[in-house]
């Protein structure tokens, strides 16, 4: 990975390291503002001086230490405030609040929920519709959550980048973003982004939804003004904004899963999709229509499989450590459910537009409920297959080893250099040896 392509990574990495150090060492060190703040000011002053004197190596070292101290100060102060608020029995689960929560947004979300109930969008299918469209998860039963978790479809129940992408594409076509001139396209993009934030507001301003909306907004506006920001830079900038607003969100499992999946898509998924795509010649008029459709269907299906596989690879360590289980058939369930969930979101939008007409809304609602029931049926079927879930309890060290293997594999695939391939194989061997030793040493 070239540092020049990802300048925000230089900023984010030391801040994340500082936050992690503060989280794990807070019980030993506590919050020491009279030490960390003067140190932070001193490091920042040294960074400015090194920049003025053009000492590049000193500037890089001091700037990294400055951001590391900044991350440490943010997190330790947040933990201290949480202790003050909740007392000595504080745990992150108690502090698990939404930093973007707005009372008005929750009121609007509640009204949308009431509208669904009034029109008899109820039962398991109705609760799934509410979760996938307005982010209302209070209607989901524990059984439904467990089934979707075992099937590897839990992410479809939490509004995130997948849902925002569908809504964005829908709005982009509604506002004619594909066919208008460049001048009007900027206006269309403003309307699209404004509508996305309105949707995020109506869905309760959930952190995963806010993250996806910020990323989408950055992407749209940079394209509008002729500048392209890579998806990874956009993801890192979004994460930086969110952890500065609420440092402890970094240690929330939803935040970790969301960003792990996005980073995997931006690094490994994008590379694999490009390298495995079938390309048509530039003179497409000479290619038969059936072949063009076949290539599009193949590339689309292949991309869904790759993205699902990459998301699973990058989130397996967190899922295994937190939930003590790994859904083994998630690729199959995602391949079957992705198109249906996309269709469900679009159908829901049509239902809201036709709600004024009892006849039209009844027709659309029957299609909507059938789609939701089909998604639930797929989840139940996959979850009921024997050995569809692997139960495990990895240690934190093993999780770090797994991510070491994942990162090395990503570098090996992206760069095609032999020494990285050897490093990947070495990491795999080390991981397997550690796993075997742990298994052998475990008491019977």
And the tokens for 400? 């770090």
Dist CA 442 CA 398 (whole Å) = 15
pLDDT of residue 178: 57
Instruction: Find where tokens 């140190």 sit.
Output: 39
pLDDT of residue 107: 87
Q: What phi, psi does 203 have (nearest 5°)?
A: -90, 15
Listed range (94-98, 119-123, 169-173, 330-334) with the worst mean pLDDT: 94-98
Dist CA 202 CA 110 (whole Å) = 9
pLDDT of residue 424: 58
Q: What is the mean pLDDT of residues 160-185?
A: 73
**CA nearest 211: which of 352, 320, 100?**
100
Q: Is 144 exposed, middle or buried (0-12, 13-18, 19+ CB in 10 A)?
A: buried
Q: What is the mean pLDDT of residues 266-287?
A: 76
pLDDT beyond 70 at 370: yes
Instruction: Find where tokens 């609602």 sit.
Output: 365
Answer whether 372's CB lies under 8 Å from 347's CB: no
Q: What is the mean pLDDT of residues 67-90?
A: 79
pLDDT tens profile 417-431? 555 555 655 666 666
pLDDT beyond 80 at 180: no
CB within 8 Å of 381: residues ≥ 6 apart: none
Answer whether 334's CB lies under 8 Å from 375's CB: no
And the tokens for 304? 């869904």
Q: What percent of the chain has pLDDT over 90?
A: 11
**Alpha-carbon distance values, 243 to 4, 90, 113, 256 (Å):** 23, 20, 30, 12
pTM of the model: 0.78
Instruction: Output the average pLDDT for the chain.
Output: 80
Answer whether 238's CB lies under 8 Å from 211's CB: yes
Listed range (258-267, 271-280, 424-433) with the worst mean pLDDT: 424-433
pLDDT tens profile 108-134? 899 999 999 998 888 899 999 999 999
CB within 8 Å of 368: residues ≥ 6 apart: 121, 129, 344, 347, 348, 351
**Alpha-carbon distance values, 40 to 29, 31, 32, 104 (Å):** 16, 14, 12, 38
Answer whether 378's CB lies under 8 Å from 333's CB: yes
pLDDT beyond 70 at 225: no
pLDDT tens profile 381-408? 998 888 888 888 888 888 888 888 888 7
pLDDT of residue 250: 83
Q: What is the mean pLDDT of residues 138-152?
A: 88
pLDDT beyond 50 at 344: yes
Instruction: Find where tokens 């930093």 sit.
Output: 99
Q: Which residue has the higher pLDDT, 289 or 93?
A: 289
Dist CA 73 CA 247 (whole Å) = 10
Dist CA 235 CA 406 (whole Å) = 19
pLDDT tens profile 290-324? 877 787 778 777 887 788 788 888 888 888 888 88
pLDDT of residue 226: 57
Q: What is the mean pLDDT of residues 266-291?
A: 76
Q: What is the mean pLDDT of residues 1-15?
A: 70
pLDDT beyond 60 at 94: no
Dist CA 316 CA 210 (whole Å) = 24
Dist CA 375 CA 156 (whole Å) = 10
3-state per-residue secondary structure call for the chain: CCHHHCHHHHHHHHHHHHHHHHHHHHHHHCCCHHHHHHHHHHHHHHHHHHHHCCCHHHHHHHHHHHHHHHHHHHHHHHHHHHHHHHCCCCCCCCCCCCCCCCHHHHHHHHHHHHHHHHCCCCHHHHHHHHHHHCCCCCCCCHHHHHHHHHCCCHHHHCCCHHHHHHHHHHHHHHCCCCCCCHHHHHHHHHHHHHHHHHHHHHCCCCHHHHHHHHHHHHHHHHHHCCCCCCHHHHHHHHHHHHHHHCHHHHHCHHHHHHHHHHHHHHHHHHHHHHHCCCCCCCCHHHCCHHHHHHHHHHHHHHHHHHHHHHHHHHHHHHHHHHHCEEECCHHHHHHHHHHHHHHHHHHHHHHHHCCCCHHHHHHHHHHHHHHHHHHHHHHHHHHHCCCCEEECCCCHHHHHHHHHHHHHHHHHHHHCCHHHHHHHHHHHHHHHHHHHHHHHHCCC
And the tokens for 316? 């397996």
Answer whether 337's CB lies under 8 Å from 373's CB: no
Q: Which residue has the higher pLDDT, 171 or 125?
A: 125
pLDDT beyond 50 at 440: no
């Amino acid at each position: 990975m070239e540092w020049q392509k990802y300048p925000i990574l230089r900023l984010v990495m030391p801040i994340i390291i500082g936050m992690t150090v503060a989280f794990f060492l807070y019980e030993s060190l506590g919050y020491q503002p009279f030490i960390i703040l003067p140190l932070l000011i001193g490091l920042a002053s040294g960074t400015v001086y090194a920049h003025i004197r053009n000492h590049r190596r000193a500037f890089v070292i001091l700037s990294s230490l400055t951001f590391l101290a900044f991350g440490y100060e943010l997190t330790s102060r947040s933990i201290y405030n949480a202790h003050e608020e909740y007392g000595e029995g504080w745990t992150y689960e108690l502090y698990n609040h939404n930093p973007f929560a707005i009372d008005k947004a929750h009121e609007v979300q509640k009204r949308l929920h009431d509208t669904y109930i009034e029109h008899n969008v109820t039962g398991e299918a109705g609760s799934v519709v509410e979760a996938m469209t307005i982010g209302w998860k209070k209607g989901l039963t524990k059984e439904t959550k467990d089934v979707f978790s075992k099937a590897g479809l839990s992410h479809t129940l939490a509004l995130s980048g997948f849902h925002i992408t569908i809504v964005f594409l829908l709005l982009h076509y509604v506002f004619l973003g594909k066919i208008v001139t460049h001048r009007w396209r900027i206006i269309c993009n403003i309307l699209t982004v404004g509508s996305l934030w309105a949707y995020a507001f109506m869905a309760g301003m959930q952190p995963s939804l806010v993250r996806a909306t910020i990323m989408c907004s950055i992407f749209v506006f940079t394209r509008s003004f002729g500048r392209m920001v890579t998806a990874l830079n956009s993801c890192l900038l979004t994460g930086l904004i969110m952890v500065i607003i609420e440092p402890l969100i970094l240690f929330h499992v939803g935040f970790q899963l969301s960003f792990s999946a996005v980073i995997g898509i931006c690094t490994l998924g994008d590379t694999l999709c490009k390298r495995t795509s079938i390309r048509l010649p530039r003179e497409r008029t000479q290619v038969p229509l059936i072949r063009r459709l076949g290539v599009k269907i193949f590339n689309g299906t292949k991309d869904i499989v790759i993205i699902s596989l990459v998301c699973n690879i990058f989130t397996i360590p967190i899922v295994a450590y937190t939930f003590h289980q790994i859904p083994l058939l998630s690729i199959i369930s995602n391949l079957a459910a992705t198109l249906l969930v996309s269709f469900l979101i679009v159908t829901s939008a049509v239902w809201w537009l036709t709600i004024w007409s009892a006849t039209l809304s009844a027709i659309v609602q029957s299609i909507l409920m059938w789609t939701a029931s089909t998604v639930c049926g797929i989840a139940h079927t996959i979850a009921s297959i024997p050995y569809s879930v692997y139960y495990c309890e990895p240690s934190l060290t093993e999780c770090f080893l797994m991510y070491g293997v994942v990162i090395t594999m990503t570098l090996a695939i992206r760069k095609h250099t032999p020494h990285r391939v050897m490093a990947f194989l070495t990491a795999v061997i080390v991981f397997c040896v550690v796993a075997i030793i742990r298994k052998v040493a475990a008491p019977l």
